[in-house]
Amino acid sequence: MGKCLAEYSLAELIEDPLIGLVMKSDGVDRRSLELLFERVARDRAPAADVRCRPTDRESRRCKSC
């Protein structure tokens, strides 16, 4: 059984040939979307790195993990 549409990532959706045809018929440029996703990922990456790093106190607190 296939996935529900909501279970696909945006990257998976824009790679789908049928979705590509719908986007093209709606005047959406696939490459522009890919560039937008890359830009968002790049802009979010530094913020995610800072947020996800455990502090010394956090890493000492949970040695069993």
Predicted confidence at residue 58, as pLDDT, reads: 47
Instruction: For the chain, report the end-to-end CA distance as a whole number of angstroms.
Output: 35
Predicted confidence at residue 25, as pLDDT, reads: 93
Predicted confidence at residue 60, as pLDDT, reads: 52
What is the amino acid identity at position 47?
A
- pLDDT mean for each 10 residues of the chain (65 residues): 74 86 90 88 73 53 50
Predicted confidence at residue 27, as pLDDT, reads: 93
